[in-house]
Structure 1
Amino acid sequence: MPDLQQAQRVLREVFGYEQFRGAQADIVDTVVSGQNALVLMPTGGGKSLCYQIPSIVRPGVGIVISPLIALMQDQVDALRELGVRAGFINSSLSSAEYGQMMTELRAGRLDLLYIAPERFSQAATLELFDTLPIALFAIDEAHCVSQWGHDFRADYLSLSILQQRYPHVPRIALTATADAATRDEIVERLALHDAEHFVTGFDRPNIQYRITQKRSPRQQLLDFLRREHSGDAGIIYCLSRRKTEETADWLQQQGFDALPYHAGLSAEQRLRHQQRFLREDGVIVVATIAFGMGIDKPDVRFIVHLDLPRSLESYYQETGRAGRDGEPATAWMVYGLQDVIKLRQMMDGSQGNEQFKRLERIRLDAMLGLCEITSCRRQALRAYFGEQAPDQCGNCDTCLNPPPTWDGTQAAQKALSCVYRTGQRFGVAYLIEVLSGLESERILSNGHQRVSTFGIGRELDKSQWQSVFRQLVARGYLGVDHASFGGLYLTEKARPVLRGEETVQLREDIKEVSARSRRGSDRGHAMLPEDRRLWEALRQCRKQLAEEHDVPPYVIFHDATLQDMVELRPLNEQQLLAINGVGQGKLSKYGQEFLRIINEHELEVL
């Protein structure tokens, strides 16, 4: 029977790491011993090792069920570079390639097989698996099984058959994103009632969370990129396909290597853009949420949201694609009143049943709450997933630059009264005109120059009133009528404010201050000149090897491994093997190339 000692030997000799991180050892031990597990671990926390190592040490083949068809090739390539016998089955294989994979599988020459859920559920696949010794089943991105979740995949529902058909094969379900309700649904639908739960924490301390008011979003984005992330790889998320195209085109005109990615592009074009992002330095992808799930690129330095995500699960998962290497990264978002109105309209006008709409409203309210909060954003984000955190993290915008608040009770009463007096059917721009006492043609034709709220708001300017309305909508005092082009109406929550029974503290919009200084610990940005020369030489060597082997550069070595080479200067194989990320397989394949560069550099310095 395999044990944890064998697993630790594989970790060291194959993957090049001296010890497991966090709960990895307990998870691996659980699965190696044949028990089921449910794993919630943040992106970059090392989830894949939790099923890869047990698949290698247990007899038979580990079956990994994953929705990430476009990334299976890269994942398998990375494992093969380590000497692991891995393969995949999905619709991208030719008939000859599929036949070859079947031959290897039946001959017992695979340790890991990646398969898409729609292929797994086919009768022929299940009949084949019936004849094989199976080490384990790993269900990656397990939150996709939740029908109320943000990333539901119908094919995942067929995975309930695993417990019935293969009761003695251990199952491990893994995700980085699941609130308590989604966890319960994963357990129910995958029959994991007897599984041990490993919730390793949702904090990503290296990511700096920043949310700022949307004023001139393109100029704000340009300032952010040029000031803080020039030459870095990153992902920019937009809600619509059209906006991804237009933003990518505009960034190209500004001198950035930017590519669009959305479901409307051909499969070939999406794959080409994805490959460039994975294999080249400094590429920015402008995408809808269709991009990024399962992306293993470790050096994504920033995630930008130009539109508001629908839920904190989406936001957490998308921002989690930054800084997987543990180095400083930024999650930056601009949001404004129109974002709130647009999402409220989309939600109220959706075709879902009332239960679905209620859950969606709760999720959107939590997302809006994060945007308008005046306390630590990281604390609020972790609390949403049921995790306690300190009052201040010291690495989000509200901790670094606390926003002032003001007593907005009177302004709120004026705004709410204006909505009521004008018939609860007009949008924000019109309401601000009434409050400001503007005698426009439209106001005069409606007779609203005669309502009691006409001109009572001249003490605030247009942007201040927009902030007031944004916060009243975000906090649920005002609803948005999806049938009347953004008309606002009062909710029950507005009553105590209008009666003077409740005060309203509002966030004062402030201009964002650059937080570039927080990235001072980024070793790639703060090197001595001689270290910088070695760093660039090692990266160039990695790039050449990656091109020769047709894999992304990080498959050769992560940035963190190259940085350790710069700091520790290994001069022989034994010293190189002691560096994290250098195992026996990579030592024999690439060791001499990197040692030659380091030795030459040391001679130059002398």
Structure 2
Amino acid sequence: MYDVLERYFGYTSFRPGQEQLIQNAMNQVPTLGILPTGGGKSICYQVPGLKKGGLTLVISPLISLMKDQVDQLQAAGIEATYLNSTLKVNEVKTIEAGLKAGRFQFLYVAPERFSQKSFIYLLQSLNITLVAFDEAHCISKWGHDFRPSYREVVQNVLMLPQPFTIMALTATATIDVKEDICQLLNIQNEHVIETSTKRENLSFQIDPTYQRNLFILDYIKSHPKDSGIIYTSTRKNVEVISEFLKTKEINHTIYHAGLSKQERDHNQHLFVMDDVPIMIATNAFGMGIDKSNVRFVIHYNLPQDLESYYQEAGRAGRDGLESECILLFADQDIRLQEFFISRTGNEEIQTLKKQKLNKMLQYTKTKQCLQATIINYFNPEEQLSKCGKCTNCLHQEENYDMTIEAKKIISCMIRLKTPIEKSILTQLLRGESSAYIQNHDFDKIKTFGAMKSYASKQVQIFIETLLFNGYLLEVDGKLICDASVTDIIKDKQSIWTYYKPLEYNERVEISTLHGMDEGLFDTLKQVRKSLSNDLGVPPFTIFSDKTLQIFATRKPKSKDEMILIDGVGSYKLKHYCPKFIEAIATY
């Protein structure tokens, strides 16, 4: 599999989780992969697809992403195509003939295609060896972006006669969503490959400014070379921000469901092709936008849940370079989201959405590391650490020694001798004699009421601090002590926490590779843009910003030097690299 990885994609090693997923596919084992945005999910089915031969069927709810994926495969010399509603009848017939002739290695399709009997008959006649469910969280009724038409596809796929392997992939999945996907696709728990959702290159920020338009204007002016997305909750806000930026002569475009399909496609093309740097959009724009050089994502309004927020914010920095995710939160946004919730689904769904909105609000109020808060939401069992660059990590001072409080909490946990939920532990420490506590005789423990002089919120802050510093762990929704708590009990370690209000004035500047020639980088972007115009493909499918930055740092003079750089495969080496080598030499 390493030969395929290097030959077609220009890499010599796999990212975390990729190799195990690929190995499962090669061994005919149904598998679910949960990898962060930019973590290389596509390669997980592309490498085994090429290795196994035959046809790999990729089912995706994102029509906007299909052409980008096919463009990238074709740019690497791989035969790929797609079938969706954007094609004309004669184009569909040509593609179907090519499929029957065995011409293609990859076929991307939208779920709606499975409603056509003729398409099912076509699939039954093809040599399908691998089926990949992309954006698999859309299958689950518990997912934040549930698509009923996608869920209905599952039975149609499972009834196909070929002995293919199934792979499901997503960037975001809570515990409920994971279990739902596995049940639907007959995937065993031991075959779920989950890596950390942490994105080392992203810095998360919260700014409660009431001058949101001015914030955006100031940010764009201070980042003139950067491409970014500004998300709003309503079409009206898209138009308002757009009109404001027009008066300031800021080059941008817009995207929302109120525009015609032709307008949306045109505006998306301008953004993806680097012709316009700024996109202002509702969440109608998004999940399928595979543009790797988005340097910032600003949320003008509070999203409805952390899944949506992380999915949208995660469109920044897909190339691995430093990028920023900024949430401009205001209290009036809460009422807007509550209104949206009141108009969706049945009572059960509304209750679930309200719980998720509450988690989103907790994110805006927490004094802990913002990235660690997100990670804990998706995987409570993951060991947490501070990112060191979010709003909270940078602009808060740990000004209170909570070692005494920590000892009380740990002592209580040790006396319990059993895992316990955070809310119950808080009640126990405060001496709240609820029916649950009485039924379990927790009110008879010596440490019952040990922190009765503290407000619930204060106790929760102390518990969170221990959790975020790794002294407490959350397993299956309940807290347990890590072995390191002995350092606190034996006075070998003191613990500090926050008691000062948040400050949001400073900003993190995006850094680049040390020693990179900025002038050469700009020149290489122009070469890439010219080449993309000639080929009619998005610039980032040729080379990512990260690869261009390596070019601008190392200044390779030959193909022998180029092939040693990540992202340069044999096809791109032959067809694209000569123009970049020439540009470097001329520069």
User: For residue 329 of structure 1, what is the aligned residue in structure 2?
Assistant: 323
Out of 505, 512, 515, the residue aligned to residue 522 of structure 1 is 512
1:84 positional shift? 0.3
Out of 83, 86, 109, the residue aligned to residue 115 of structure 1 is 109
Point out the more displaced range, 163-172 or 208-217. Answer: 163-172
Q: Which amino acid aligns with 1:369?
A: Q
- Which aligned pairs between 1:54-453 and structure 2 lie closer than 5 A? 54-161=48-155, 162-166=157-161, 168-193=163-188, 196-227=191-222, 229-280=223-274, 283-347=277-341, 349-387=342-380, 388-402=382-396
Note closer, same or farther for the CA distance 1:167–1:509 as it changes in structure 2 (3 Å cut): farther
Note closer, same or farther for the CA distance 1:503–1:144 as it changes in structure 2 (3 Å cut): closer
- Which aligned pairs between 1:455-604 and structure 2 lie closer than 5 A? 502=455, 510-517=502-509, 519=510, 521-523=511-513, 531-601=517-587
1:403 positional shift? 6.9
Q: Which amino acid aligns with 1:136?
A: L
Q: Distance in 2 between matches of 1:351 and 1:89?
A: 31
What are the Cα deviations for residues 191-242 of structure 1, in whole angstroms up to 9, with x where unaligned? Answer: 3347711101100111111012132211122223323x22311111111111
- Contact in 1 for aligned 2:202/2:322 (Cα 8 Å): yes
- Contact in 2 for aligned 1:403/1:509 (Cα 8 Å): no
- Contact in 2 for aligned 1:212/1:512 (Cα 8 Å): yes
User: For residue 35 of structure 1, what is the aligned residue in structure 2?
Assistant: 29
Q: Which protein is bigger by CA-based radius of gyration? A: 1
1:183 positional shift? 0.9
Q: Secondary structure in 2 aligned to 1:394? A: coil
What are the Cα deviations for residues 224-267 of structure 1, in whole angstroms up to 9, with x where unaligned? Answer: 3323x223111111111111122122223223221111111111
Q: Which amino acid aligns with 1:534?
A: L
Note closer, same or farther for the CA distance 1:75–1:144 as it changes in structure 2 (3 Å cut): same
1:592 positional shift? 1.6
Sequence identity (%): 36
Q: Secondary structure in 1 aligned to 2:320? A: coil
Q: Which amino acid aligns with 1:214?
A: T
- Contact in 2 for aligned 1:306/1:333 (Cα 8 Å): yes
- Contact in 2 for aligned 1:382/1:389 (Cα 8 Å): no
Q: Secondary structure in 2 aligned to 1:14? A: helix
- Contact in 2 for aligned 1:232/1:281 (Cα 8 Å): no
- Contact in 2 for aligned 1:298/1:323 (Cα 8 Å): yes
1:70 positional shift? 2.1
CA RMSD of aligned residues (A): 2.2
User: For residue 425 of structure 2, what is the aligned residue in structure 1?
Assistant: none
Q: Secondary structure in 2 aligned to 1:581? A: coil
1:391 positional shift? 4.5
1:107 positional shift? 0.4
TM-score by length of 2: 0.80
- Contact in 2 for aligned 1:378/1:396 (Cα 8 Å): yes
Q: Secondary structure in 1 aligned to 2:292? A: coil
Q: Distance in 1 between matches of 2:12 and 2:534?
A: 29
- Contact in 1 for aligned 2:204/2:371 (Cα 8 Å): yes
1:280 positional shift? 1.3
Query: Is structure 2 residue 30 aligned with structure 1 residue 44?
Result: no
Q: Which amino acid aligns with 1:170?
A: T
1:599 positional shift? 2.5
**Count of matched residue positions in the alignment of Structure 1 and Structure 2:** 495
1:503 positional shift? 5.8
- Contact in 1 for aligned 2:395/2:502 (Cα 8 Å): no
Q: Which amino acid aligns with 1:255?
A: E
Q: Distance in 2 between matches of 1:288 and 1:23?
A: 32
Q: Distance in 2 between matches of 1:254 and 1:96?
A: 46
Q: Which amino acid aligns with 2:505?
A: V
- Contact in 2 for aligned 1:277/1:283 (Cα 8 Å): yes
Q: Secondary structure in 2 aligned to 1:285? A: strand
1:179 positional shift? 0.4
What are the Cα deviations for residues 88-113 of structure 1, in whole angstroms up to 9, with x where unaligned? Answer: 00111111211110111000010000
Q: Distance in 2 between matches of 1:548 and 1:351?
A: 46
Q: Distance in 2 between matches of 1:77 and 1:353?
A: 41
Q: Distance in 2 between matches of 1:243 and 1:581?
A: 39
What are the Cα deviations for residues 288-307 of structure 1, in whole angstroms up to 9, with x where unaligned? Answer: 11111122111101111111
- Contact in 1 for aligned 2:124/2:162 (Cα 8 Å): no
Q: Distance in 2 between matches of 1:405 and 1:571?
A: 53
Q: Secondary structure in 1 aligned to 2:505? A: coil
Q: Distance in 1 between matches of 2:169 and 2:280?
A: 27
Q: Distance in 1 between matches of 2:338 and 2:242?
A: 27
- Contact in 1 for aligned 2:294/2:318 (Cα 8 Å): yes
1:141 positional shift? 0.5
User: For residue 424 of structure 2, what is the aligned residue in structure 1?
Assistant: none
Point out the more displaced range, 349-358 or 501-510. Answer: 501-510
Q: Which amino acid aligns with 2:580?
A: F
Q: Which runs of 5+ in 2 are unaligned?
A: 401-451, 462-498
Q: Distance in 2 between matches of 1:269 and 1:233?
A: 20
Q: Distance in 1 between matches of 2:276 and 2:267?
A: 13
Q: Which runs of 5+ in 1 are unaligned?
A: 1-6, 407-498, 602-606
Q: Distance in 1 between matches of 2:281 and 2:519?
A: 34
Q: Distance in 1 between matches of 2:560 and 2:88?
A: 42
